[in-house]
Amino acid sequence: MKPTLLVLAAGMGSRYGGLKQMDGLGPNGETIIDYSIHDAVEAGFGKVVYIVRESFREQMEKSVKEKYAGVKTCDGAPLEFVFVTQELDKIPAPFKVPADRVKPWGTAHAVLMAKDVINEPFAVINGDDFYGKDSFRILGDWCRAHEGKKGEYCIVGFRLENTLSENGSVSRGICSYDAHGKLTDIAEFLNIAREADGKVYGNNSVTGEDHLEVDGAALCSMNMWGFTPDYFSSSLEIFKTFLEEHVTELKKEYYIPYAVDVIIKEGKGECEVLSTPSHWFGVTFKEDRPGVVAKFAELVEKGVYPSPLYK
């Protein structure tokens, strides 16, 4: 069994100033998604599902067909690609989209768009985050070990200190887990940064406490998940309840951590917290771009990746 990689690429990159999913950051114009797919293929994934917007689906499909035409999976088969769109009107009946709503329904809604094209354990990643080879290896192994199982999910947690930005403070979901390594909660911390004393501080958005010292070794969520396919049916039911309560709220979003939290608390599944030694990096603002370009150049120079990545 080869697991599937689901790439969340529907974000329009408003803060970044353009489609960062298509931005060439590697030495030969490689995108962050290019490196993620390269690492996923090495880790044994066999299919890639893109969640995109209809407005740039054609552009993305054309780019993918040209770029990955010769890519083979670990057993020599062609790498499979599927494109699915996330749009505001793709919500279950009888709910209607408010006329004034422009904001997407959120990451958990985006994942639901793939429910008809995935029947095996699968991974979820952001299209604009670099996760590293070890992270994909860990997630690929987990997916293969959970073939045929139900109600078992995982999150790849990154050491907080490996996700800090040199360009300012960040927001991160800090994972809490029990003695068996099962997720119990994700607490959102805002304005996280390393300060002059070398320690990491942030604001707990749940308790309202400001300038708390945060353990740099704490595991945080960078939206890298593993799911057994039953997640789709569970998440859909939760989304219906979410819409009953929030459909008229123009900015309320349905996020993956929320869906997983409900499943855990209702006793319908559990989520294992996996740790990775990889360093995360990504582009949120235009100012992040030069640093990311330099990191990819360094990885190529060290021989971690070939250049060009695809021939």
Distance (Å, whole) CA 190 – CA 196: 18
List of domains in the chain: 4-301 (3.90.550.10)
- Please tell me which residue, 24 or 182, carries the higher pLDDT value: 182
Query: Which structure tokens are listed for 105?
Result: 């329904």
- CA distances from residue 191 to 168, 269, 278, 290 in whole angstroms, order as listed: 8, 32, 22, 22
- The pLDDT value recorded for residue 19 is 53
With beta carbons less than 8 A apart as the criterion, state whether 162 and 181 touch. no
Query: pTM for the complete prediction?
Result: 0.92
Output Rg (C-alpha) for the chain, integer angstroms. Answer: 19
Tokens of 52: 């995109």
Query: What's the pLDDT band for 287 if we cut at 50, 70, 90?
Result: confident
Burial of 296 (0-12, 13-18, 19+ CB in 10 A): buried
Rounded CA gap, 217 and 228, in Å? 28
What's residue 225's pLDDT? Answer: 98
- Span 66-125, pLDDT tens digits: 889 889 999 999 999 999 999 999 999 999 999 999 999 999 999 999 999 999 999 999
Q: With contact defined as beta carbons under 8 Å apart, do 108 and 227 qualify?
A: no
Q: What is the mean pLDDT of the chain?
A: 92
Whose CA is closest to 93, among 253, 259, 240?
240
Cα(154)–Cα(49) distance, rounded to whole angstroms? 19
pLDDT reported for residue 21:
57
Instruction: Tell me the three state secondary structure of residue 178.
Output: coil
pLDDT of res. 245: 96
Instruction: At 158, list the tokens.
Output: 């990154």
| pLDDT tens profile 30-65 | 999 999 999 999 999 999 999 999 988 888 888 888
Residue whose tokens read 């790498």: 79
The count of residues in the chain is: 311
